[in-house]
A and B are shown apart, each in its own frame.
Chain A
Amino acid sequence: MSSPTSTPGGRKRDRNTNPSTPSSDGPTSPPSQRRRGQDSSTGDLMPMPTSPATDMLSPAAAQDTSLFSSPRPSVLPNEVDMSSPLISVRGTPARQRADLGSVRKAPQVDLQSEPAGADGAVASESNAGQRLVIWGTDVNVGTCKEKFQRFLQRFIDPTSTEDENAGLDLNEPLYMQKLEEISVVGDPVLNVNCLHVQSFDAELYRQLICYPQEVIPTFDMAVNELFFERFPDSILEYQIQVRPYNALKTRNMRSLNPEDIDQLITISGMVIRTSQLIPEMQEAFFQCHVCAYSTRVEVDRGRIAEPAVCRHCNTTHSLALVHNRSAFSDKQMVKIQESPEDMPAGQTPHTTVVYAHNDLVDKVQPGDRVNITGIYRAVPMRVNPRQSNVKSVYKTHIDAIHFRKTDEKRLHGLDEDAEQKLFTEDRVQTLKELAAKPDVYERLSSALAPSIYEHEDIKKGILLQLFGGTRKDFSQTGRGHFRAEVNILLCGDPGTSKSQLLQYVYNLVPRGQYTSGKGSSAVGLTAYVMKDPETRQLVLQTGALVLSDNGICCIDEFDKMSDNTRSVLHEVMEQQTLSIAKAGIICQLNARTAVLAAANPVESQWNPKKTTIENIQLPHTLLSRFDLIFLMLDPQDEAYDRRLAHHLVSLYYQSEEQMEEEFLDMAVLRDYIAYARTYINPRLSEEASQALIEAYVDMRKIGSGRGMVSAYPRQLESLIRLAEAHAKVRFSEKVETIDVEEAKRLHREALKQSATDPRTGFVDISILTTGMSATARKRKEEVAQALKKLIQSKGKTPAMKYQQLLEDLRGQSETAITRELFDEALRALADEDYLTVTGKTVRLLA
């Protein structure tokens, strides 16, 4: 190994001109060692009649063969640095690819020829080339290169929706445009989607997956030839490196098994820990003490073969390692943990070690969700260097080639759900069949929390909340985003299984959060800044609301929440963002979360004589942000009781199977919702818009007859959202009249429950929007006027007794005057600066 590296920077074209050295090098790296883990899979390819040395041929070698009538064994067993294409095209240096593993020597032939020449040679020699492969694989470098170049030049994906391809012309060869981008930007990395390779050439894809260590450098060579042919004048820092991603080999960390060793895999997970940067020696620099002759030795599998003799002065053991002239590359250990969604219940998540090299170092931070493409490795563990016994266990890790953050998209606001849940054809078919059923809406709503009895409308409301409306963007016209999420408040007697409903929803949706108003502070809901104990850097820790972005935040005991905490919700529930200005971090986070809250009445029992606001004592500004407010009361009639009793008894004593027959599987429901949320974006149809307008006008009309406003634009928006959600339930791309009808009905039901004025029995929206019914306001006004008159009739008395005044007013009025009413009247007059109340005395101000 010493001779090729004897001249600094000599890893270029001069290899073949020095035939004697490579032949002596050949045996130093038995390929069998390298391919150990894969032997079983490639066994059928192994029994090549020739020795490893002569197995190796590549187009260039083939060219040699054509020039010299027989292959000369002394020339052929060349070694090529597989980590980077050897050709130093137009002076651009190659950069070692540490990600392809520590073994960079593979028996291989130098690619001397000019790219153009090579193409021709491949064409002419393709017959011979077919059989000649890299030792231990079925990869023929020439064919492989040619195929990949063809792929780059021709691959078109008109239906691409990836962010990476934004701004590219989809009808032109995709990767050629990317190469152009590289020539402009100068970032010599080409990310290649393996799916594209697969659809273009399945055989090439298979090779890439099975022999990444050999195929990727071949790709590198191919792309560099192509690139420098096309853009001869571009200057790059180093040669282009190909980074494949999205290999379909493995998705889940749990399914990694010994067969995946040394193969290209893609797994998803969450980063839990990253190490400090580890400098890894790539090339050791030795200098002779005696004659100052220097030499370089490449690190092979973590070992440095220290030269024993100085070749210049022949002194033994005179060479010393000079650290700061050795070449190092960056390396970082990253620990990945299985994402919680991938795990079977009742087990702990698995972790995997990933090594990131060079510019992939520090690409990810703990907490990031990533898809990692890399080569899976297993290394035997030696118990002790002095012992011959070894632990029979391998250490496994992944050499990362490509990181792709899955939640990266959140940065761009417009994107659809970050979750790219994959559905199999069958599943989609089942879901569509289900959607085609006329009673799908009823079916789904009854499948929701089957253990909770009846409350059909509430379940329907929650179902619509799970689907959500269509997200619209009006930023151009200055309105910004429209909220698509439906917010629901449940209130009612304690013990009416509100919490249970919340728990169910929380367990159903992938991004649900469950908090209790009692236990959560504003900080727990929003975000806080904390110092990372390891890195000492400030980290923004997100709270429940941000975590449930694109999900549902369930808040139990909403009424017990402190005012301070509740105020945070104002922004979230309408603008769907969260602003933070803390410890020097000023930002706005997306919190596109639907809120499902449950509140208990203040007096422990719902008082039907009072309005919703009076019962739960929540500010009306917050209440008006809920699309639907339901009362969960205990209805009291015999038929209901009987059904309830039956439901409960069967809940306790029916066998598991019976239950499952009756209701839809939770998993189906979950998939159904995920599918609809991802793929269905209903738009309003003409008739539906008309119906909505009518509905809104009707709602306003009801009130105007009694001299009050009974609907606000917010209610119209709610109606639109609900109608859209209902269309989603039907998997319909269009909102139709039936959707509007159901939205209207549900909205009315909810209003009937929560906004009925207990004094008049009418539905009065102003209870929710202003906190007081119109009749109550009118009554207050009257009493205040009566009181004023009373005081005025008393003449010039600067002060009066409170009790006295109350009794006088009672005596005068024909309707009963409660103390509260009286207090309110006093307050109203105080607001007019007419009087002031101090303790038990009322003083006139005027």
Chain B
Amino acid sequence: NNNGADSGWEAKAVEFFKDHLKEKEARTLVPSLNDVPLHYLKPNSLVKFRCLIQDMFDPEFYMGVYETVDPRLKAKVLRCGKYRDVTECGVDFNSRNTVTAERQTFYCVPVPGENTWVKDISSQARVVPSTSYAPSRQKRSYEEDDDMDDMDTQPQKQRETHGGSQTHSEQHHGNGDCKRQETEAPSNQTASASHLDLNFPLPGEKGPSCLVKVYQDWDGFKLNDVLEVFGILSVNHTTSYSSSSLLDPADSMETAEEQRVHCPPASLVPRLHMLYAKPLPHNNPLLPPTGLEDNSAFLSSTLSEMASVRAELLAYFTHVLLGDALAAEYLILHLISTVYARRDVLPLGKFTLNLSGCPTAASYTERLYQIIQQLVPSSFYLPMSLQNMNQMRLVPKKDYVANRLVSGALQLARNTSLFLDETQLEQGQLDTTGVRNVTALGNLISWQKVDYDFNYHQMEFPCNINVVIASEGRSLLPSDCQIRLQSQVAPAHMDEYLSAVHMHPQASSQLNKFRMYLSVARQLDYSISDEVTKSVEDDFVDMRKDDPQSVSAEDFHRLLVVARLLSLSLGQTSLSTDTWSRAKHLDMLRTSRMEQHKCVNGNEP
């Protein structure tokens, strides 16, 4: 069946990969671009990549099926152009059998703000890929594995039916390439990348970015989706931009800038031809990668432990938050919150926390962030200093010269924790950028959306980012819930206490428990029974009866979210009246504390 694209073998091959990759073992056997340096990976082999779609380029047309002419044999051979960048020698452009097909390119970057513990844990399970120089032990084990072997050779087999002897020579060539690269390429990729802006959303990010070529259903992907892509790696240097390609008159119409961005050196930005991509609901390596509903055993075991883990976590947070148990409760609720639905413009489930009254001494906020960083899969610390606000690029902006979306710090994956440190803000003048940045942060908090700047117009991208604001007084940004930190520590001992907080890092098993707890709690389903609905409604009416001013519709909105999060944090998937009253009690404690510290700066309450 070598009659080109129509015969259906392509679909079968892709199906084959999908089926095998669904098995858990097979997944882990595929080497990952995230962990393994690029020069250790064999070109044209199957790799995986955990990434965020940062930009979508224009669709491109390529030769899906083409014919080559061998000048010696005068033989014409039909070849498949899918899953590769470059055609083989002697393409007959006049052939009538050429089929032009369409594919889409995504520019993907590693998940922004992914914390080191996530990287460490995922790379422990990493596969050392087979290369020509790798220790023989590993190589054998890899080749002995039937499953894996089968997969890897599959495309070659398919190609063989088309290309005949060509495949083998090319295969050797590929290995040779790899060997050469290994000797040449410095192990630190980022050093050589410095001249090229790889467009990471957050400053100081490392890791390979990737041009992912998508062959089907690209409309299903959205910007900022987090995916695990399985595909064929291609590091063919001819796809890179080089000044010599300017010789072609047709190319000169594109700016050099645009070429540089769209065809970066393949050694830095490899091409990945996607066979299969799995959207990741989370990037916590401790959890099974599939949805929770498929893992009932795992779910029931974690659920039973949740209450006890919660108590430990609460104690830990209370300690960290200067002995304030109430603030610790709210911090837990915040960390498991997520936007679970949207009703017209209203995002439901968001729970932005403003932690006011943070001590400025001993860089307390930074320490607090470091603790959060240890617990959530991805996070970002944004000191709101005047300089940062005036200079940082928060909102992604389209660069029409290079024809790409220049990323900004607010281009984040779902459920990333954004820690805004307002204690760093001093008096001074915000310039235009500063005002825009503050507005963008406000929009992010209120509507969970970021308006990307497309120069002639703005485009709204919904997001799902957990924002926590640490401030001294009430924050200038809006928030869903403000809690004033009440230190139980005497001011005299503050410095001592603070430096001690971080002296006792938790055991890693303990930390792993917390990490798992926070991620699981966020994934749980939640419902509310009719009876409880009724009693909640009655409660609201009663509260309003006593004092209409005491609880507004907005307060009720918040109470419902708090009740939801409180239930989930206890591992209960439906609201009970107990939890409802506990939620009310929590909120009451919080508001009464607010009364004491009533701020009188004229801001809207």
Contacts and interface: CB of A to CB of B under 8 A. Distances in A.
B553 A382 contact: no
Interface in B292-350: 341, 343-346, 348
B553 A496 contact: yes
A351 B255 CA distance: 14
A470 to B, nearest CB: 29
Given A32-B94, A383-B245, A273 B344 contact: no
A343 B455 CA distance: 17
Interface string B70-92: 00000000000100111111110
B457 interface: yes
B313 to A, nearest CB: 25
Interface string A325-344: 00000000101010010011
Contacts of B219: 344, 347
B446 A499 contact: yes
Nearest to A648: B556
A331 B367 CA distance: 60
Contacts of B541: 638, 641-642, 645
A202 B345 CA distance: 46
A497 interface: yes
Given A387-B238, A392-B81, A648-B556, A380 B93 contact: yes
B345 A504 contact: yes
Interface of A is mostly: mixed
Interface in A463-513: 494-497, 499-500, 503-504, 507
B56 interface: yes
Interface residues of A, number: 89
A646 B343 contact: no
A43 interface: yes
Nearest to A273: B400
B16 interface: no
A396 B56 CA distance: 17
Given A346-B461, A388-B89, A653-B533, A394 B605 contact: no
A363 interface: no
Interface stretch (B111-119, B246-254, B283-291, B511-519): B246-254
A32 B348 contact: no
Given A257-B102, A659-B343, A352 B89 contact: no
Contacts of B98: 36, 39
Nearest to B66: A392
A642 B537 contact: yes
A378 B55 CA distance: 23
Interface string B204-246: 0000000000000001011110000000000000110000110
Contacts of A350: 58-59
B238 A348 contact: no
Contacts of A441: none
A120 interface: no
Nearest to B563: A652
B382 to A, nearest CB: 20
Given A389-B89, A507-B344, A648-B553, A379 B250 contact: yes
A352 B94 contact: no
Interface residues of B, number: 86
Contact of A258 (B101, B222, B455): B101
A261 B100 contact: yes
A495 B446 CA distance: 12
Contact of A507 (B249, B345, B554): B345
A71 interface: no
Contacts of B60: 393-394, 396
Contacts of A347: 56, 219, 221-223
Interface in A380-405: 380-385, 387-396
Interface string B561-585: 1001000000000000000000000
Interface stretch (A286-294, A449-457, A709-717): A449-457
Given A648-B557, A652-B348, A272 B343 contact: no
A450 B344 contact: yes
A506 B395 CA distance: 20
Nearest to B219: A344
A313 interface: no
B61 A396 contact: yes
A40 interface: yes
A365 to B, nearest CB: 11
A275 B348 CA distance: 46
Contact of A348 (B90, B223, B556, B605): B223
Interface stretch (B156-164, B386-394, B544-552): B544-552
A367 interface: yes
B84 A348 contact: no
B600 to A, nearest CB: 11
Contacts of A39: 96, 98
Interface of B is mostly: mixed
A604 to B, nearest CB: 6
B250 A641 contact: no
A270 B540 contact: no
Contact of B548 (A366, A634, A651): A634
B125 interface: no
A272 B91 contact: no
A602 to B, nearest CB: 10
Contacts of B247: 384-385
Interface in A266-320: 270, 272-273, 275, 278, 302
A167 interface: no
A512 to B, nearest CB: 11
A348 B554 CA distance: 34
Contacts of B405: 348
Interface in B26-71: 55-56, 58-63, 66
B420 to A, nearest CB: 18
Nearest to A557: B604
Given A519-B435, A641-B540, A645-B556, A392 B548 contact: no
Nearest to B224: A346
B456 A503 contact: no
Contacts of B87: 389-392
Contacts of A499: 446
A619 interface: no
A392 B93 contact: no
A353 interface: yes
Nearest to B537: A645
B58 A40 contact: no
A180 to B, nearest CB: 39
A112 interface: no
Contacts of A651: 343, 348
A652 B553 contact: no
A384 B93 contact: no
Nearest to B543: A641
A625 to B, nearest CB: 26
Nearest to B56: A348
Nearest to A335: B400
B536 interface: yes
A641 B542 CA distance: 9
B604 A367 contact: no
Best-surrounded residue of A257, A261, A389 (most CB of chain B within 10 A): A389
B366 to A, nearest CB: 30
Nearest to B557: A648
Interface in B393-440: 398, 400-401, 403, 405, 435, 439
Interface of B: 55-56, 58-63, 66, 81, 84-91, 93-94, 96, 98-102, 219, 221-224, 238-239, 244-245, 247-251, 253-254, 341, 343-346, 348, 398, 400-401, 403, 405, 435, 439, 446-447, 454-457, 459-462, 527-528, 533, 536-537, 540-541, 544-545, 548, 552-554, 556-557, 560-561, 564, 602, 604-605
12 contacts: A36-B98, A333-B253, A337-B454, A344-B219, A345-B462, A348-B223, A383-B239, A393-B62, A494-B604, A519-B439, A634-B548, A641-B545
List the 9 closest A-B pairs by CB distance, nearest first.
Answer: A346-B222, A645-B540, A645-B537, A258-B100, A451-B343, A636-B548, A495-B554, A394-B61, A503-B345
Given A355-B253, A385-B248, 8 more contacts: A278-B253, A351-B403, A353-B254, A389-B238, A499-B446, A604-B602, A644-B556, A651-B343
